[in-house]
Structure 1
């Protein structure tokens, strides 16, 4: 397979993503995936995804985030199908939506059946997320392709890069006060023996 080294035009990705999204949604088990993801909300713990959303609540915000995650996955899959390049397909995505993509991908068994029946892979690579040097931002390729395919983004969830970093710094201070540092990767909490 030949792999492209440049992204296709956002409008071309958008057209293909709409087709993929429709195929996934038409699959008999896709609602099971989406419902399962929403019900699995006790496992959505994270330090810097959902909490970046002002007055965040999984119970209130899950359905919207799951919808965005599925649409973003369709964009990534469209890029992959059009280019054959997994690195290019790992589009930068706003942090709260990316965290939800991880929750969506956790529905592995049923997603495997949906992929098999529709012929469209769910393309997501955490390794490649970190290989891409740029974070999602307003007006970038992902934003253009998403809006061309699915309409305007909801700014509650699609937080621009500079604002996301400012909010992360606020969280850094709050978490440090209870012994959680390194963006949730280190804890100084010593649980004494009972």
Structure 2
């Protein structure tokens, strides 16, 4: 079934209200704390590390804000397109997408929050396309929501993402990590420095 893509103004207006509603729920504080704590469990080789001089402590709070905004935008598009999941799966930057995963991992809170608000968070891996472009539809909706310009520290277009992935890939391979973290050649048989020191002390 074909659906009309809602205008950025329509999406922005609705997304702003959705975001306000999310932040007003009693679950929001815990969702924010839990999502930030989860970050060091979720980090992949191709998401957060794309950020220059990445710092978990410094970058997690602003990334959480971007993730919540993205979920509000996707929810708005889903509603305004009569439930078109493909249209609602907006193009976003890889680091922001990774934080979205961290938020959605807080399943119980997300369920309680969305049920209370009568909305649905939209995110399916099989719909992701990873071809985000600056000034495209996502950016237009983001600005129309009144959130200003997306933070370019986190919002990287596909060309810059590809360039940084090439750099990361080369660095990973230099220490034995292949295919952007999908395989490695470590056997874990060699003792760690801590284990080796403990063995010396024991003798």
TM over 0.5: yes
Q: How does 1:90-129 map to 2 (within 5 A)?
A: 90-129=89-128
What is the deviation of 1:80?
0.7
- The alignment's C-alpha RMSD in Å is 1.5
Partner of residue 53, structure 1: 51
Partner of residue 141, structure 1: 137
Q: Say whether the 8 Å CA contact 2:43–2:98 is kept in structure 1.
A: no
Partner of 1:40: helix, strand, or coil? Answer: helix
Q: Identify which of 65, 69, 78 aligns with 2:67.
A: 69
In the alignment, structure 1 segments of 5+ residues that lack a partner are: none
Partner of residue 196, structure 2: none
Q: How does 1:132-171 map to 2 (within 5 A)?
A: 132=129, 135-149=131-145, 150-171=147-168
In the alignment, the residues of structure 1 paired with residue 7 and residue 40 of structure 2 have an alpha-carbon distance, to the nearest angstrom, of: 38
In the alignment, structure 2 segments of 5+ residues that lack a partner are: 192-203
In the alignment, the residues of structure 2 paired with residue 60 and residue 4 of structure 1 have an alpha-carbon distance, to the nearest angstrom, of: 43
Q: Say whether the 8 Å CA contact 1:6–1:88 is kept in structure 2.
A: no
Moved more, 33-42 or 13-22: 33-42
What is the deviation of 1:192?
2.7
Partner of residue 10, structure 1: 8
What is the deviation of 1:11?
1.1
Q: Which structure has the greater CA radius of gyration?
A: 2
Q: Say whether the 8 Å CA contact 1:96–1:157 is kept in structure 2.
A: yes
In the alignment, the residues of structure 2 paired with residue 187 and residue 162 of structure 1 have an alpha-carbon distance, to the nearest angstrom, of: 26
TM-score where L is the length of structure 2: 0.88
Partner of 2:101: helix, strand, or coil? Answer: helix
What is the deviation of 1:6?
3.9
